[in-house]
Amino acid sequence: MELPRGMKDFDMDEMIKIEYVRQIFLKTSKAFRFNLIEPSPIELLSVLEAKSGPSIRDEIYQFKDKGDREVALRFDFTVGLTRYATSQKNLKLPAKFSSFGGVWRYDEPQKGRYRFFHQWNIETFGNLNTEHDAEIIEFTSRFFDNLKLQNISIDINHRKLAESYISHIFESNETTLLHDIFRAIDKIQKKSKNEILQEYKQKGYSPEKLEKILEFSNLKGTPSEIRANFDTDQLAGWDELCILYDLLTNRGIDNIRINFGIVRGLDYYTGIVFEAFDSTSDLGALVGGGRYDSLSKVFGRADLGATGVAGGVERIILRLDE
Amino acid sequence: MELPRGMKDFDMDEMIKIEYVRQIFLKTSKAFRFNLIEPSPIELLSVLEAKSGPSIRDEIYQFKDKGDREVALRFDFTVGLTRYATSQKNLKLPAKFSSFGGVWRYDEPQKGRYRFFHQWNIETFGNLNTEHDAEIIEFTSRFFDNLKLQNISIDINHRKLAESYISHIFESNETTLLHDIFRAIDKIQKKSKNEILQEYKQKGYSPEKLEKILEFSNLKGTPSEIRANFDTDQLAGWDELCILYDLLTNRGIDNIRINFGIVRGLDYYTGIVFEAFDSTSDLGALVGGGRYDSLSKVFGRADLGATGVAGGVERIILRLDE
């Protein structure tokens, strides 16, 4: 008897590892006073589309239930937690939630990549300031410490910073342009500069201007290292990013740096963004997170800001195994 | 933003309770050396039908995936664990598995009953004897002890015992007859004897014969109490049931009794069956289990016997709350 394509059982050895990560996650969540919640595993398709638009249909398990409702299996915890938070009228703010469990994505299966896997997630909702972003990043760092994963480095940035520089160079703040260029920045990890310039020239973007953006997105280091190479005065979000840097240093987090190349793929981020990597591996980001005040707004609660971080459990296990 | 009909979020207070039950379950599983496994949450529909026939379609979430495969969300762990066990060629026997997590049923939602809920489950696969059934029942008893749930009583029976008596009274061992009468026995908890006799008279079953069966299914007590009221010599399974009773008594399990009315709804049970109740509540069975050697056979492994027990987590929480 076989399984549907892309699905798998988690055997004894894998469950021991997942349980280990789960216990450390729950312990760390508890220490930071995040409360464990499990949002529904099935959502209305319309709710899931609120985060990423109708194109999400191709990437998730969606179907009609027997009542002819368009529903889908959750593809992350962020949407469900935000729906939950925005639906609670008497939520004590800030509300701090954690989730751990399975999510489904209808990706093309590959070696070690299945259509059901485990995620951990924490989110804070409320009238937020940079302290709340700092707490999310501190959590991330402590979680990896508790897992005894060394060589983790956390790259922080501000979404508005890249936005303001792109607007400045291209003399436009048109949404399509911004998203196109964000995507170009995101590609620099995988493609050469020349490939990207060539591709975007065909789309009508000036290679000279784009080259400036790509150089900009290469800037990394401490606030003073960056200031030595770039005039940051006109950059939106720069001051908040420096405050965040100091807050984290004061909390004893020293594996951070500013990286202007971190913009995060999803369009819904509005402020601080960050990723964490294992510097001894080319596995890509272990973690992605940041401020996303826009999603609660879509759910009718403009008063609720949101910041959070999530990561894949199987990815952590791959690192622990090495 | 709302949820699909029958679905819910599990909030902080519920998660604390689910986590409590989960921890005690994992601790007890570990003490009994059951290994935690998570079978795939999505199965081929054909695999799920192996347990209960095509009628199961109406009671589960089934849909076609993007590859046009007929798939469904798991409705329990037993099918997935059996599929997993029968697919492993080098399984060390007996193989002892535990699972804990969410399952989906497309029931009509009611107060406190949703279409997604949590189950715990343990199963043993191999060349089994009554000791393995005894261990499953001992586990059940210790699990409730560890949860500090008092007033639990465990009713044991043997499927063959009811079968042999029905065959004797109706002078037939035809499958349809057996299943019809099993269902009549199952109804005695909810309906009066006269209602059942009336209903089955219309189906063509002799009320005199059925009344004998219902009286038989009322027998409860220790082996000697039952022997005092009934000649057990001709009953298939009686000796095995008495051996089980002694095995459990020797293991210090004293909240058991034989109950001829326990036959379990599902047609796949083949030997020892049991249910556990909270005697201070009319909530119905907290637990159902027994020997089901037939399912592994359907999956192509006639050499693998199976015995197990499962229960709903939310039901336990209802009892803990009281």
Chain B: closest CA distance from residue A115 (Å): 10
Task: Go through A173-182 and write b for each residue having 16 or more CB atoms within 10 A of its CB, e for each that does not.
Answer: eeeeebebbb
Q: Cβ contacts (< 8 Å) between A85 and chain B: which residues? A: none
- Within a domain: A134: no
Query: In chain A, which residues have their Cβ closer than 8 Å to the Cβ of B297?
Result: none
Note whether B306 and B192 are same-domain residues: no
Over residues B134-171, the pLDDT tens digits come to 999 999 999 999 999 989 999 999 999 999 999 999 99
φ, ψ of residue B191 in degrees (nearest 5): -120, 160
More confident residue, A40 or B109: A40
Question: A254: buried, middle or exposed (CB in 10 Å: 19+, 13-18, 0-12)?
Answer: exposed
CA distance A123 to B266: 43
pLDDT number for residue B179: 85
Query: A100 and A22 in one domain?
Result: yes
Of all residues in chain A, the one with the smallest CA distance to B4 is A44
Looking at the structure, tell me whether residues B115 and B166 fall in a common domain. Answer: no
Same domain, B2 and B72: yes
- Please indicate whether, in this complex, the C-beta atoms of A8 and B299 are within 8 angstroms of each other: no
In a domain, B136, yes or no: no
For the stretch A100-109, pLDDT in tens is 999 999 999 9
Q: Indicate the helix (H) or strand (E) that contains B277.
A: strand B272-278
Contact criterion met (CB < 8 Å) for A1 and B50: yes
Residue A133 maps to a domain: no
B194 and B282 assigned to the same domain: yes
The answer to whether the CB atoms of A66 and B8 lie below 8 A apart is no
Question: In this predicted structure, what is the pLDDT of residue A112?
Answer: 80
Amino acid in position A121: N
**pLDDT of amino acid B260:** 95
In a structure prediction context, what are the per-residue pLDDT tens digits for chain B, which is 322 residues long?
Answer: 699 999 999 999 999 999 999 999 999 999 999 999 999 999 999 999 987 778 889 999 999 999 999 999 999 999 999 999 999 989 999 999 999 999 999 999 988 889 999 999 999 999 999 999 999 999 999 999 999 998 999 999 999 999 999 999 999 989 889 888 988 998 887 888 899 999 999 999 999 999 999 999 999 999 999 999 999 998 999 999 999 999 999 999 999 999 999 988 667 889 999 999 998 888 789 999 999 999 999 999 999 999 999 999 999 999 998 7
Query: Are B252 and B306 contained in the same domain?
Result: no
Judge whether B143 lies within some domain: no
| Chain A residues within an 8 Å CB radius of B96 | none
pLDDT at A111: 83
Residue A29 lies in a domain: yes
Contact A36 B19 (CB under 8 A): yes
Question: Are B19 and B96 within one domain?
Answer: yes
Residues B234 and B258 in one domain: yes
> Residue B278: which H helix or E strand, with range?
strand B272-278
Give the minimum alpha-carbon distance from B87 to chain A in angstroms, rounded to a whole number.
Answer: 7
Domain holding B11: CATH number? 3.30.930.10
Locate tokens 């049923």: which residue? B105
- How many CB pairs (< 8 A) connect A and B? 127
Both B287 and B306 in a single domain?
Answer: no
Q: Is A112 part of any domain?
A: yes
d(CA B162, CA B17): 38
Shortest Cα distance from A52 to chain B (angstroms)?
Answer: 16
Domain annotation covers residue A25: yes
Q: Are B121 and B100 in contact (CB under 8 A)?
A: yes
Residue B215 token pair? 């009286």
- Within its chain, how far is the Cα of A175 from the centroid? 20
Domain count along chain A = 2
Write the Ramachandran bin of A246: left for phi over 0, alpha for psi from -120 to 50, otherwise beta.
Answer: alpha
Quote the minimal CA–CA distance from B266 to chain A in Å.
21
Tell whether A232 and A307 lie within a shared domain: no
- Judged against a pLDDT cut of 70, whether residue A265 lies above it is answered with no
- Looking at the structure, tell me whether residues B267 and B309 fall in a common domain: no
Of the partner residues A9, A37, A64, the one whose CB lies closest to the CB of residue B38: A9
Query: Using the beta-carbon criterion (under 8 Å), do B19 and A10 form an inter-chain contact?
Result: no
**Residue A141 forms part of a structural domain:** no
Instruction: Tell me whether residues B38 and A10 touch, CB distance under 8 A.
Output: yes
Q: In terms of domains, do A14 and A74 share one?
A: yes
In which domain, by residue range, is B70 found?
Answer: 1-126+300-322
